[in-house]
């Protein structure tokens, strides 16, 4: 066995492996002996098939299998022992592809193209600058969140007089010349909301009305949207045009949604029983929650800016482009040359960022432990529930939800990479100069959009 390395440039290597009969012959003979024990050939008892016949039947395939296995083992052994920093996987050289007769030849030569990662070291200092943002929590943001909570935890109450946003329930009867059309449409338990009416005159007929009032109105004029009208009248959409007469609506119920009062009941629903005991504490918690969310937004922006700074700092790094494109097309059958050409620059940026992160992580001996993955997963779960106003959750529910998340291998890998990246960004943050800027959320959003 002999391996010859040829560096064609700083990013490309050709490895040529010369395999002799002595490298694989013993394994081939051993495999054929096993075949002989199990082979069922007409005219011969099991285990008594002539060796020559076994070689004739299976020798070529067994030789090919053993040679390929030996080739693969030696190839990756060389890469590992010589610490060759490859990108992708070794590829057989296209110009060296030829027919190989595994039944007659004694030695074989195979050549592989290897794409090398660029050699570089990451150096950080206060000469490197990144913007960092402190986002102010405004009173308006606190009031909006407070309004969101009182709205979310409100309740429906029956009323006597209609307001625009109320849900009005009653009997709906089709009229003809102002009188009840006995053969017309009749809907019991019909519901409508005046606010959704497009015609202001029709809306005005309902606002201020009371339970028991009979209102004559025209649904087609009131709502205009055929889907809404069909739903109200319990008819098909295509029948709406033929139902353009007036209707009588007899009000039987008025339901209004009332926002929650700012009291202990609301505090307990939002944060858990007894956690918050006054409006001042409630507002302080709201402010802290908003601040925490804004810090996450600012950290995300910092991560984006760190990535851009480092990509620019190491923009001169070179890659084995032809090799990588060939490997990507071979390893992903759904990838087309057109889409590869369109996305290749982004792929290289992602690859460069991965290499930079790996360098920093190795330099600072960054690791990610299982408890960190669990904690990060729990925070993801909390954030997801918080979107629906569920800020106080039973620990068992949260633990079970987190456990289900981590059953997926891709999820675990993604969380691992995110934790690692956050640690890398933390290292960068401690090494470079941070240009801290105090901004409002509106200013931050504009900056982030640019």
The 10s digit of each residue's pLDDT in 306-316 is 999 999 999 99
Residue 95, pLDDT > 90, answer no
Q: Report the pLDDT value the prediction gives residue 150, as an integer from 0 to 100.
A: 94
Q: Report the pLDDT value the prediction gives residue 243, as an integer from 0 to 100.
A: 86
Give the residue-averaged pLDDT of 409-435. 94
Q: Decide if 220 is inside a domain.
A: yes
At residue 38 the predicted structure's pLDDT band, cuts being 50, 70 and 90, is confident
Return the closest-CA partner of residue 256 out of 146, 145, 169. 169
At residue 389 the predicted structure's pLDDT band, cuts being 50, 70 and 90, is low
323 and 411 share a domain?
yes
The 10s digit of each residue's pLDDT in 256-300 is 999 999 999 999 988 888 999 999 999 999 999 999 989 999 999
Residue 11, pLDDT > 80, answer yes
226 and 82 share a domain?
no
Q: Report the pLDDT value the prediction gives residue 328, as an integer from 0 to 100.
A: 94
Q: Decide if 175 is inside a domain.
A: yes
Q: Decide if 268 is inside a domain.
A: no
The 10s digit of each residue's pLDDT in 164-190 is 999 999 999 999 988 999 999 999 999
Q: Of 258, 283, 305, which residue is a domain's last?
A: 258
At residue 388 the predicted structure's pLDDT band, cuts being 50, 70 and 90, is low
Q: Decide if 263 is inside a domain.
A: no
Residue 395, pLDDT > 80, answer no
Q: How far apart are CA 378 and CA 419, in angstroms?
A: 13
Query: 13-27, 32-46, 233-247: lowest mean pLDDT where?
Result: 32-46
64 and 133 share a domain?
no
Residue 58, pLDDT > 80, answer no
Which residues have C-beta within 8 Å of that of residue 104, sequence separation ≥ 6? Answer: none
Q: Any idea what the CATH number is for the domain that residue 193 is in?
A: 3.10.50
Q: Report the pLDDT value the prediction gives residue 168, as an integer from 0 to 100.
A: 97
The residues facing 19 across adjacent strands are: 108
Q: Report the pLDDT value the prediction gives residue 391, as an integer from 0 to 100.
A: 64
Which residues have C-beta within 8 Å of that of residue 396, sequence separation ≥ 6? Answer: none
412 and 279 share a domain?
yes
Give the residue-averaged pLDDT of 97-125. 80
232 and 320 share a domain?
no
* pTM of this prediction exceeds 0.85: no
The residues facing 219 across adjacent strands are: none
Q: Of 258, 290, 315, which residue is a domain's last?
A: 258
250 and 324 share a domain?
no
177 and 202 share a domain?
yes
19, 67 in Cβ contact below 8 A? yes
Q: Report the pLDDT value the prediction gives residue 88, as an integer from 0 to 100.
A: 93
At residue 21 the predicted structure's pLDDT band, cuts being 50, 70 and 90, is confident
Question: For the chain, what is the domain count?
Answer: 3
At residue 193 the predicted structure's pLDDT band, cuts being 50, 70 and 90, is very high
216 and 316 share a domain?
no
Range of the domain at 366: 129-146+273-449
Q: How far apart are CA 302 and CA 314, in angstroms?
A: 18
Q: Any idea what the CATH number is for the domain that residue 400 is in?
A: 1.10.3120
CA distances from 146 to 143, 165, 280 (A): 5, 21, 12
195 and 327 share a domain?
no
Q: Any idea what the CATH number is for the domain that residue 96 is in?
A: 3.30.70.1050
13, 6 in Cβ contact below 8 A? yes
Q: Decide if 121 is inside a domain.
A: no
Return the closest-CA partner of residue 368 out of 404, 414, 410, 305. 414
Q: CA neighbours within 13 Å on the CB side: how many for 142?
A: 15
Q: Read off the DSSP letter of residue 84.
A: -
More confident residue, 225 or 36: 225
Q: Decide if 124 is inside a domain.
A: no
309 and 210 share a domain?
no
More confident residue, 19 or 107: 19
Element (H, E) at 35: helix 21-38
290 and 410 share a domain?
yes
Q: Decide if 179 is inside a domain.
A: yes
The 10s digit of each residue's pLDDT in 328-367 is 999 998 999 999 999 999 999 999 999 999 999 999 999 9
Residue 28, pLDDT > 80, answer no
182 and 233 share a domain?
yes
Q: Report the pLDDT value the prediction gives residue 22, as an integer from 0 to 100.
A: 80
The mean predicted confidence, pLDDT, of the chain is 89
Token pair of 446 as six digits: 């504009």
């Amino acid at each position: 066995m002999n391996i010859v390395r040829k560096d064609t440039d700083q990013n490309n290597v050709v490895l040529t492996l010369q395999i002799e009969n002595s490298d694989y012959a013993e394994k081939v003979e051993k495999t054929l002996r096993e075949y002989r024990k199990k082979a069922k050939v007409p005219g011969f008892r099991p285990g008594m098939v002539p060796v020559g016949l076994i070689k004739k039947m299976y020798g070529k395939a067994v030789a090919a299998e053993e040679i390929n296995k030996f080739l693969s083992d030696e190839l990756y052994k060389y890469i590992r022992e010589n610490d060759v920093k490859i990108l992708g996987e070794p590829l057989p050289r296209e110009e060296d592809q030829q027919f190989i007769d595994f039944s007659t030849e004694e030695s074989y030569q195979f050549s592989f193209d290897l794409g090398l990662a660029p050699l570089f070291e990451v150096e950080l200092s206060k000469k490197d600058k990144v913007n960092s943002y402190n986002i102010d929590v405004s009173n308006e943001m606190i009031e909006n969140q407070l309004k969101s909570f009182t709205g979310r935890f409100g309740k429906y109450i029956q009323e006597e007089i209609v307001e625009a946003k109320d849900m009005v329930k009653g009997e709906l009867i089709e009229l003809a010349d102002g009188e009840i059309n006995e053969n017309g449409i009749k809907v019991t338990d019909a519901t409508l909301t005046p606010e959704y009416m497009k015609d202001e005159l029709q809306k005005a007929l309902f606002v201020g009305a009371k339970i028991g009032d009979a209102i004559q109105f025209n649904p087609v004029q009131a709502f205009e949207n055929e889907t809404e009208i069909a739903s109200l009248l319990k008819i098909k959409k295509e029948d709406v045009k033929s139902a353009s007469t007036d209707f009588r609506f007899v009000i039987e119920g008025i339901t209004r949604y009332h926002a929650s009062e700012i009291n202990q009941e609301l505090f307990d629903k939002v944060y858990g029983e007894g956690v918050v005991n006054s409006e001042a504490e409630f507002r302080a918690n709201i402010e802290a929650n908003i601040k925490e969310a804004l810090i996450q937004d600012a950290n995300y922006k910092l991560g984006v800016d760190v990535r851009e700074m480092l990509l620019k700092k190491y923009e001169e790094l070179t890659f084995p482009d032809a090799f990588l494109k060939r490997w990507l097309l071979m390893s992903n059958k759904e990838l087309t040359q057109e889409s590869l050409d369109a996305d290749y620059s982004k792929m290289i940026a992602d690859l460069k960022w991965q290499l930079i992160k790996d360098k920093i992580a190795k330099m600072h001996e960054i690791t990610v432990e299982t408890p960190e993955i669990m904690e990060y997963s729990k925070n993801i779960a909390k954030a997801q529930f918080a979107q629906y106003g569920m800020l106080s959750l039973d620990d068992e529910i949260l633990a079970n939800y987190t456990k289900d998340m981590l059953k997926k291998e891709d999820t675990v890998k993604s969380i691992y990479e995110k934790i690692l990246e956050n640690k890398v960004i933390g290292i960068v943050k401690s090494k470079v100069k941070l240009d801290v800027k105090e901004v409002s959320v509106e200013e931050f959003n504009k900056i982030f959009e640019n």
